[in-house]
Amino acid sequence: MNCSACGKANADSVSFCEFCGARLRSGSASTSEPQVTRTASLPPPPSAAEVAQMGKSILSSLTLGEKFVCAGAIAATVGFFLPWVSSPDLGELSGLLGQLGTSGASHVSLSGVDVAKLLGAVYFILLAAIASGVLFYFSRKAASAQKLLIGGFQVMIGSLFGPGVIGALFFVPMIQSVAGAGFWLLGLGFCSIAAGGLITIATLAKRTR
């Protein structure tokens, strides 16, 4: 075996050059051994049953108030993008909808995004629903005093829009005739947020007694 460092011949049984001391079998060992390619094994994706079990465990860990707030925040957020106004008969809304360029349409369907183009302040409704969801996320690991404070904010957020929207849906005939699914979800969602905040406050008040 010839040394790769000095080029002199050595016996096959030696591992180091007898003349310069360089290692002889480092290159041959690496070439003679088969190269094993190791691929990282990825965990299999969860099955539908595992996902369902995970969802059940998350729901079971929530209190009743948190369930109301979570459902309300989701409903209000989704309701903002669904039709608030959906009617073939414009009636008294023709003047308002004419400003959006839709008065000549045979059927009108307007979501919260469409209404916000006319009045930008409508976006505060969406921000309130998102803020409620963010408060819900932080309240899960908060202390009792912080949960009490967050519950008060949830009541305030839900009361800003929920009672007014539901009241209009039940007692204003003009709105009843044109209200879409989004407007109903919006009102019910914010009322659910307020109810969840009240339930949380009542539950914490019982614990502190």
What is the distance between the alpha carbons of residues 192 and 66, in angstroms, rounded to a whole number?
10
Q: Is the dihedral of CA 138, 153, 195, 168 positive or negative?
A: negative
Indicate the pLDDT class of residue 103, thresholds 50, 70 and 90.
very low
Predicted local confidence at residue 32, as pLDDT? 46
Residue pLDDT, tens place only, 115-171? 888 888 999 999 999 999 999 999 988 898 899 999 999 999 999 999 999 999 999
Is the model's pLDDT at 27 over the cut of 60? Answer: no
The number of angstroms, rounded, from the C-alpha of 24 to the middle of its chain's C-alpha atoms is 61
**pTM score:** 0.69
Residue pLDDT, tens place only, 64-79? 999 999 999 999 999 9
Predicted local confidence at residue 209, as pLDDT? 64
Share of the chain above pLDDT 90, in %: 41
Contact of 129 with 162, CB cutoff 8 Å = no
What is the distance between the alpha carbons of residues 78 and 83, in angstroms, rounded to a whole number?
10
